[in-house]
Amino acid sequence: MNCISTIDPPSPHLYAITLMEMENGSLGFACIVSSSLYVWSREVNSEGAAEWVQCSVIELEKMVPVANQNDKAAVVGSAEGVGVIFVSTGVGLFAVELRSRRVKKVQQPGVYFSVLPYMSFYTPDRGTLLSLARTH
């Protein structure tokens, strides 16, 4: 329709957020408040209006290490459609799997403002596989 729309966040007092695609294809929103990772999904309510619905809260205090008491964890990105959030602290960059709640350190400490992972897969066509098999 060639128009710009805006969507208000779940709370106007949030910062260091990431928008993401949820596993079901809906729009998601993630941020850290205190030491908890909050994830919301944009859903249509019974009246037909879209609203933010809180999907999960993950306590990060014992899962994601920080360098000291003044070090704050920040959401810096997500991997679309696979339920992974990237969190940065003074100790490094961490991938948090939303479903399993597993945390993996993926990068050494640095300044991370935005992480945009690139995922690509290549599957050769069947004809290429057959010709490769015949030549070997």
Residue 89 tokens, joined? 């602290």
For residue 114, give its domain range: 18-135
**Residue 56 domain-assigned (yes or no):** yes
**Residue 117 domain-assigned (yes or no):** yes
> Can you list the positions of beta strands (E) in 70-120?
74-79, 84-89, 92-97, 103-107
pLDDT tens string 98-129: 999 999 999 999 888 888 887 776 666 655 55
The total of structural domains in the chain comes to 1
**Residue 11 domain-assigned (yes or no):** no
**Residue 84 domain-assigned (yes or no):** yes
Neighbours of 94 (CB within 10 A): 21
User: In terms of pTM, does the model score above 0.85?
Assistant: no
With residue 31 as reference, give the H or E element that holds it: strand 27-33
Adjacency order of strands within the sheet including 92-97: 74-79, 84-89, 92-97, 103-107
